Amino acid sequence: MFKLEKTRFAVLFGLGMIVCAILSYTSLVTGTYAMSFTEVWQTLFRIDPQPELDLVILEFRLPRIIVGALVGLGLAVAGTVIQSVSKNGLADPSIIGINAGAGLAIVVFMYFFLGNLQTDSLLATFSMPIFGFIGGTLASLLIFILSWERGRLDPQRLLLIGIAISTGLSSVSLFLSLKMSSSDFDLATVWVTGSIWHANWYYLVAMLPWFVFFLPVIIYKAHVLDVFQLQEESVKGLGVQTEKQKIVLLLSSVGLVAACVSVSGTISFVGLISPHIARRLVGSKHRYILPLSGVIGMILVVFADLLAKTIVQPAEIPAGIIVAIIGVPYFVYLLFKAKV
């Protein structure tokens, strides 16, 4: 049985990576400036490089694809953790307010500091995830305090309070963005709707430390997430320090969300859809769910970004809108299923 599960996971994970690679290649060659496989190959491996191809592939498209994949990975893994810790299959970083908290903090940063900094400067790029982490941590802390009832976390209260807090924080973000200059407002609006069109190598460098630090913590504690599926009394009977482990896992999730939101804005529903699909495919063990959910998240964001830049060429639709079109019906389906 164990060998069968492991084989199934390996096959599905491998297929997911192949699909992600195919989508990435399609995104690399598709756009206003179309190119062939030979041109991509020669550019990536520095065989007869040409300045115009270097600009399109290495400066515009490749960092955008890599950043999009990392955003999908981070949001999906964070969503998996939040659903497991809260024992609520409808929980998601965007639905329970973590995205909105991180987003508000970054909008505050844009409002007060962006006029004095270059948008793509190293200082601005590295500062935004820090602001996002602080905002996401404060928002999640508020939500979890308000959701605490009779010594435990109430999943339904968590969902309702999270939606309310998320709506309120998003409204404040919109209010602040309306008070910005026209150029900063345009940037903030595109960013709030969830887009990675402006991704560059600075963004990738800014994201990596957060992933390198927090992602291994979550993977290492996959067995703890399995234990959290039991009743609270059973978990404590096994000697697990539940509150300490929840804090570590939630802070790690907030760190991933902050890194993602700082470069892509608010892309909703990735953290909702990916864990559900992963559980249906590989069962309930988080050592399989976490990596497969991450790959599914990568596929979702890369695919959404591909559609976003090709549907209405040469204009673009924010990738967050594409993901929302997919995610809203799925969320409604889960909501009705939970009531039945």
Domain boundaries, the chain: 65-339
Residues in the chain: 340
Lowest average pLDDT, out of 116-130, 190-204, 284-298, goes to: 116-130
Q: Check: CATH 1.10.1040.10 for 65-339?
A: no
CA distance 176 to 136: 18
Distances in Å between the alpha carbon of 38 and those of 54, 117, 202, 310?
Answer: 13, 39, 28, 22
Tokens 């004095």 label which residue?
A: 116
Tokens 């007869």 label which residue?
A: 48
pLDDT tens column, 229-262? 766 655 555 556 677 888 888 889 989 998 898 8
Distances in Å between the alpha carbon of 161 and those of 13, 18, 26, 245?
Answer: 35, 39, 41, 23
- Per-residue pLDDT, 151: 67
- Per-residue pLDDT, 121: 63
Confidence of residue 334 (pLDDT cuts 50, 70, 90): confident
- Per-residue pLDDT, 340: 47
Q: Which token pair is 228? A: 């959290």
pLDDT tens column, 191-223? 777 888 888 898 898 899 999 999 999 999 998
Q: Which token pair is 300? A: 């979702």
pLDDT tens column, 65-110? 999 999 999 999 999 999 988 888 878 887 778 888 888 888 888 8
CA distance 336 to 340: 6
Phi-psi region of 141 (alpha: psi -120 to 50; beta: other; left: phi over 0): alpha
3-state secondary structure 43-103: HHCCCCCCHHHHHHHHHHHHHHHHHHHHHHHHHHHHHHHHHHHHCCCCCCCCCCCHHHHHH
pTM for the structure as a whole? 0.91
- Per-residue pLDDT, 115: 58
B/e letters for 137-147, b = 16+ CB within 10 Å, e = fewer, are bbbbebbbebb
What is the average per-residue pLDDT within 103-118?
76
What is the average per-residue pLDDT within 174-190?
78
Pair 90, 331: CB distance under 8 Å: yes
Tokens 């602001």 label which residue?
A: 131
Lowest average pLDDT, out of 4-13, 125-134, 144-153, 195-204, goes to: 144-153
Question: Is it the case that residue 155 has pLDDT exceeding 90?
Answer: no
